[in-house]
């Protein structure tokens, strides 16, 4: 039962968010071999001023290296 959380800066349209959620769902279903009923996707908007404190530090810099499969190309 995968649940994917995408954290992003505000400003994306509802259409963009829906398209991203659909694309992520398709890939999870295909790669992990789950049905559509098993996959959920949430998109959380985080203000740029809060990104370092709320996302970068806890979810990237302090992440378990065995669970962070893609790192960003920036540092804060």
Catalytic residue positions, numbered: 2
Q: 42: left (phi > 0), else alpha (psi -120 to 50), else beta?
A: beta
Rounded CA-CA distance 66/76 in Å is 21
Residue 3's DSSP bridge partners are 40
The tokens for 40 are 């959920």
């Amino acid at each position: 039962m995968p649940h994917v959380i995408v954290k992003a800066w505000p400003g994306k349209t509802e259409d963009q968010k829906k398209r991203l959620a659909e694309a992520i769902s398709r890939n999870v279903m295909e790669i992990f071999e789950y049905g559509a009923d098993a996959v959920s996707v949430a998109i959380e908007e985080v203000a740029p001023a809060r990104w370092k404190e709320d996302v970068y530090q806890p979810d990237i810099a302090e992440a378990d290296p065995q669970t962070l499969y893609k790192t960003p190309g920036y540092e804060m």
